[in-house]
Amino acid sequence: MTRVRDIATRSGLVQVLPSSVSVSAGTASVAANGAVSFTSASNIALNDIFSSSFVNYRMMFNGVAAGNVGTSFVYRTSAGDYTTANYTWQRIYAYGSTITSQRVSSQANGLLPDFGADWSAFTADFFNPNVANVYTTCLSQGMYLPSAASPELDHNYIVAANSAQMTGIKFTAATTFTGTVRVYGYNNG
């Protein structure tokens, strides 16, 4: 018979610490508990978060932006940013009683939920980022607050038709962010 504690150590999420974090403006730091905090930062790169230790990952991002903006990302490889124009994304976006959708192909970046000046949060699941010759996919969902009285929902599915092994990710927007991001690997046990 398997004890509950044994099951808990073999399943669930395991926090992943980036080897380094870089920003092109502002500051960023990694706490001992794995939280990556950033203040007035742009182009936030989390390096060496994807490895052969896990196949799939979850990211939790929350904070505010200096203005209401869309958020994009590029994967990173050991050679740098992966900007080959083979990202495809499908988006469903709801605000008020309006629901819109959009599909875009052959992009040099992926799309994440929008970020607002009041508060925003999203989770993103990444599938196969460090597996060679397998498409890397991302499913993200989030809530964006352009103002406290008008929450907006954002759901995105992104495919990168790649042969490279992704090792990190870089967030980009037309403004700066203040907040926290945490990365977890899905335990294969």
User: pLDDT tens, position by position, for the chain (189 residues)?
Assistant: 333 334 445 568 999 999 999 999 999 999 988 899 999 998 999 999 999 999 999 999 999 888 888 889 999 998 899 999 999 999 998 988 899 999 999 999 999 888 888 888 999 999 999 998 889 999 999 988 776 677 888 999 999 988 889 999 999 888 898 999 999 999 875
CATH of the domain at 148: 2.60.120
Domain count, the chain: 1
Contact present, 187 and 13 (Cβ < 8 Å): yes
Inside any domain, residue 8: no
Inside any domain, residue 9: no
Q: Supply the range of the domain harboring residue 104.
A: 15-186
Overall pTM surpassing 0.85 (yes/no): yes
27-56: buried (b, 16+ CB within 10 Å) or exposed (e) per residue? Answer: ebeeeeeeebbbeebbbbbbbebbeeebbb
Inside any domain, residue 4: no
